[in-house]
Structure 1
Amino acid sequence: MAQPSDDRPGLRERKKARTRRAIRDHAMRLFTEQGYAATTVEQIAEAAEVSPSTFFRYFPTKEEVVLADDIDPVAFESFQNQPPEMTPLEALRATLTDVFGNLSEEDWELERHRQVLIASVPELRAAVLLRLSESVAVFAEQVAKRVGRDPADFEVRNFAGVVLGTALTGFSEALEQPMKTYIETMDRALEHLQQGLPL
């Protein structure tokens, strides 16, 4: 007899997700209370009630606790699932509303806290800059998949780089705002790009 399908993650996956979230939440709290540099992996592990070895199974470094972006995979899936008749920018704007419009307030606060921390800690800012070309390449792959092009095509990579630059500007302006204002500001930045960046 066929069993009913169930897309919910299994018990093991849910437990892993809870452990990862606990590590991250305690890390963010400690970073705020005593500073990023002064906080050790051992302190984070103790606060989350896991061993240091368990910490490293979830995050290879302390830096990665902050830099790991849990929203990207959800956003990429939404981007690919937008109606095929949409242009990449239209699909991106729809993705923004879809993904951030469905974030819980708790998840939004975590994301906002993460980005504020990156902006305020020099070594985290430097790490983000070092990963910038990788971010462009990853986004170019998503764009190429949607439009049926090669990710290495100049136009695809140029598009990815321009969009990320535009998003970065909009993000920095909206970071301290409520989630609704953030969505509006980011959409405005992408709309300006869609219009050809008129001045």
Structure 2
Amino acid sequence: MTEGRSPLRARLRAETRRMIQGHAVRLFTERGYDATTVTEVAEAAGVSPMTVYRHFPTKEDLVLVDRRDRLVAERIAASPPDGPLVRRIGRALVEAAALLAGGGGDGGGDGGGDGGDGDPERDRDLLLARLRLMISTPALRARHLDSNVALQQAIVDALGAEAAGPEAAFRAHAAAGACLAALHTALVRWAEEDGRADLPELIAQALAAAFGDDAVAGADGADR
């Protein structure tokens, strides 16, 4: 019985997180990020402020937290240790973006079971709204840079023994940082164009512009 309850708790927790984040992003978009309080988010979501903080320790997390780091790290860890690092990292970024923007239900979550809810359009719209807030809000732009540093470290950690030692870690950090710069450029353009372009393809194009077409060979939907 205990084993049966654990997936249920994880699913309920994920649903609560998605619900709170959805209300937060809606209020931030309608009223402005700085003008909206966590208490107002809690009231809109029908939960207590304590519940909001349990899922999102800071106000910025209401916009920034998602399952991207885990999705990328899992795909890098599962990839064979061959080919250029930028190709493997780039492929993971493209595949993770396809899931985040399209609601691919892998059943996983950002540190606690968040998965897609089976509504690709809703997932896409939420991601687009979050990106717009990140771009337009100074406090969120600063925290977004911090989150990229965390993702860079998650990528290096996922490489395991391949990134062991000072020189290997240096190369891994350099490759991850360069790929994330290309990712950021693609995300900004996608948001500025109101999400009209295919996000995974846009990321693949940014990676190809930075590293050449061979850098994205093998990425789902982005083969050159």
TM normalised by structure 2 equals 0.73
Regions of 4+ moved over 6 Å: none
CA distance in 2, matches of 1:107, 1:9: 25
Contact 1:108 1:179 in 2 (8 A): no
CA contact (8 A) 1:100 1:179 kept: no
Which of 158, 174, 183 aligns to 2:190? It is 174
Deviations 1:116-152 (A, max 9, x none): 101101111122235554443333323x327353477
Q: Which residue of 2 aligns with 1:64?
A: 61
**In angstroms, what is the RMSD of aligned CA positions?**
2.9
Tell me the equivalent position of 1:141. 157
Corresponding residue of 2:132: 116
Q: Provide structure 1 residue ranges, at least 5 long, that are not aligned to the other structure.
A: none
1:187 aligns with 2:204: yes
Partners of 2:89 and 2:176 within 8 A in 1: no
Distance 1:148 1:156, change over 3 A: closer
Distance 1:185 1:122, change over 3 A: same
**Larger relative contact order (C-alpha < 8 A, sep ≥ 6)?**
2
- Percent of paired sites with the same residue: 34
Offset at residue 58 of structure 1 (A) = 0.5
How many residue pairs match? The answer is: 191
Residues 113 and 128 (structure 1), Cα distance of their counterparts in 2 relative to 1, 3 Å cut: same
For the structure 1 residues 130 and 78, does the alpha-carbon distance in structure 2 shift closer, same or farther, using more than 3 Å as the test?
Answer: closer
Do the aligned residues in 1 keep the contact of 2:28 with 2:36 (CA within 8 Å)?
yes
| Larger-gyration structure (1/2) | 1
Residues 84, 67 of structure 1: CA spacing in aligned structure 2 closer, same or farther, 3 A cutoff?
A: same
Output the amino acid matched with 1:147: E
Q: Does the C-alpha gap of structure 1 residues 78 and 11 become closer, same or farther in structure 2, counting only changes over 3 Å?
A: same
